[in-house]
Structure 1
């Protein structure tokens, strides 16, 4: 029998009589409450508005108020500003930008993101990001004039971002939440580069970037209709890994335990616990084969990031001129979006963001010891906001964490008669009300970016 899932939610209060060394509650009704507020109708309204701009190509018109990328950006900015007014000014709306030239941008062009920042109450430099790209395209990636509705690629991801902001802005969190509508993805992942650079410049400790790209279709080109599965792609070894770190990891393991991969596992556990008939298929790859997304610049900057994508894609509706050919309708139009499914994907995102933001930061300095002994000793550095820690282990060939033991408010646990050679190990930090961080694998291979200072003695 599987043990309790890694994350089962938030209890609204901690009983005063609970023993100090007892684990916090693991059932959190507030996550179901949050998930229930996601509206398919709101998602539909957002995509309908985005499609109405005709094209959102990065090289399209920036001055018109009715057509092109400029009009779309200004509408998203106005939408974020309206949401901020609804929550008493809780969102700071910024438009970071940079000018690029490249293979798909022949002339210097400003690429601008539209970003809403919900500052954390006690740990504002710890940041969880949701992103989707605003720009669209047709068959010719340089065609900035033809209609490119971009309903699913990536109006769906942008709608999920805006809906996440609408729902989560009603709550307060210790960590900061960032809602990002990016531009320039189709021309070379430029919007992701702009936001990753902004994060670095502002000292963000990005714990996770949830990049949503093509998340609204349920009818695959293969004829399969799948309304219950979403894929979460994650890198195996860090893009920033040094040669020395790689040599250690090759010998001791960790190729399957990057922080991004443990964020993906975290999302899978949440889906199983809180969403009805909806599951995460964790794909052990940075992105689809020979393709990319805006999570890649985050990974290259050293930040944990995953790509969220529908279970079965339909390539006749991606990067296509609007046409009917051989009895097949081509083009990324709104009738190709399943809004109930998109709502489920959005629910996964919002409960992940909330759970991460209410949890302590992932523990740092996780290490294991136990060579030539029958026991394994796991150690870590404490982090602010943690009431205790949970030690995890799994078979080295198992895809998800299998077993756990509560360590209390300690920085060490000895696992008697559990041989270090046979298992993978990790540690999660847990708040007093039961929110847990992602599991952290020992050493550089599993360490999350942005180490927090050790708790004062």
Structure 2
């Protein structure tokens, strides 16, 4: 085993060698693009987010089974207001948003026994060169109290999840001022508390329409900074991501057993990408990569997308307060229960909304992740890669990443130009995990793709 000082020197030398590689993006272009992303982060308004949360709370309840005819109460009024907000935003950008309702009638389920139309409100900002390549931000419209079937009692759902929906609307306001190569999708989903039905419906719609969804950023509770554990913290957030795909075949699992990749699914490398965005562009925010589909034995609306093989993660606060989740409004033994707006920190919700907006902008400006990435190097001194060279003229080239297998984030990288294969000399395949990203002429990068089926961003990989 290397002594710490020797190992540190070895790491430093390797990092220096990587940084000295040819084909570095021009400094002025890199600064310009970084500034665009900083501008997007700074444009998110905590005041507007707070106002939107208040409006959603004022609908009384947004339970999936609640009133749909009233203009002032129930989920019907809430989703019509959300649609109207998207329409206002679209009008200000010259009709840049395609606003659709994606719905289905659900019945015969434990939490939806009688027929109910579950309606998602979705706004699509089409990309100029790859309109079918998409990155999506989602939040949940519906709310609940202690009894999941109680659809008449007041259920403010201020943090869970008016905060997420308000973030989606605000991201649309900010990003609609820009034009992107790929498409950005803003989704307000219904039916989450009754069984993730809105996500299932939108996932089916995406599959039917052959959407190339390269990332779903599900925002579920992004406004609370004081946890049940007594910790108050507005500087951290969690990103939950699954490991291997649930749709993995036996043949793929066998390959993975011998080549690795248990912590390098597309979802997990999407999470690493978001973590990198936080470090570079979101002041005073440290994101925690949680290697789990969701919180222990719990679920969220990214799961239906994961179930279909899409890259999807959950973004949320670090310290939850369970007295403010799924609770009847009441005070018992001096403890106040209920998800009311006084438990939401608008500045924090804005910070996490900025994280989403910058991530989506970066991905939509960047080229698509590389396809058909392959790796070889068994019993050799060097590691070789190949991938499908894209005909996308926005691509300047590709970058190889690698890290020690025990490390959570990519440590080393080498820009290799616009080629379809490359060999890292004297870098032994056994000691590292590797990946490839696409790089645009302006310096935007795609998420890193781990070689083989395990890391592909193509959800249809078989």
1:77-92 superposed matches below 5 A = 77-92=83-98
Structure 1 gap segments, 5+ residues each: 5-18, 453-457
1:182-221 superposed matches below 5 A = 182-221=189-228
Which structure dedicates a bigger proportion of its chain to helix? Answer: 2
The residue aligned with 2:408 is: 399
Deviation at 1:55, TM superposition (A): 0.1
CA distance in 1, matches of 2:122, 2:26: 35
2:50 is the alignment partner of 1:44: yes
Q: Scaled by the length of structure 2, what TM-score is found?
A: 0.93
CA distance in 2, matches of 1:222, 1:450: 38
The residue aligned with 2:377 is: 370
Deviation at 1:200, TM superposition (A): 1.2
1:27-426 superposed matches below 5 A = 27=31, 28-101=34-107, 102-383=109-390, 384=392, 385-426=394-435
1:158-200, Cα deviation, whole Å (9 max, x unpaired): 0110000000000000101110000000000001011111111
1:358-388, Cα deviation, whole Å (9 max, x unpaired): 0000001111111111111111112223110
Deviation at 1:22, TM superposition (A): 3.8
1:21-47, Cα deviation, whole Å (9 max, x unpaired): 443544411000011100000000100
CA distance in 2, matches of 1:432, 1:24: 9
The residue aligned with 1:8 is: none
Stretch deviating more after TM superposition (249-258 or 181-190): 249-258
Equivalent pair of 1:21/1:409 in contact (CA under 8 Å): no
CA distance in 2, matches of 1:172, 1:20: 30
Stretch deviating more after TM superposition (273-282 or 330-339): 273-282
Equivalent pair of 1:364/1:451 in contact (CA under 8 Å): no
- The one of 23, 26, 36 aligned to 2:25: 23
Stretch deviating more after TM superposition (45-54 or 370-379): 370-379
Q: SS at the partner of 1:106?
A: coil
Q: SS at the partner of 2:158?
A: coil
Q: SS at the partner of 1:154?
A: helix
CA distance in 2, matches of 1:435, 1:321: 47
Q: SS at the partner of 1:387?
A: strand
CA distance in 2, matches of 1:199, 1:166: 23
Q: SS at the partner of 1:152?
A: helix
Equivalent pair of 2:203/2:305 in contact (CA under 8 Å): yes
Q: Scaled by the length of structure 1, what TM-score is found?
A: 0.94
CA distance in 2, matches of 1:104, 1:247: 38
Count of aligned pairs between the two proteins: 438
Deviation at 1:300, TM superposition (A): 1.0
1:207-252, Cα deviation, whole Å (9 max, x unpaired): 0000000110000010001100010000000121111111111221
- The one of 439, 457, 462 aligned to 1:448: 457
The residue aligned with 1:432 is: 441
Equivalent pair of 1:238/1:445 in contact (CA under 8 Å): yes
Equivalent pair of 2:239/2:271 in contact (CA under 8 Å): yes
Equivalent pair of 1:240/1:302 in contact (CA under 8 Å): yes
CA distance in 1, matches of 2:373, 2:420: 9
The residue aligned with 2:3 is: none
Please tell me the root mean square deviation across aligned C-alpha atoms, in Å: 1.6
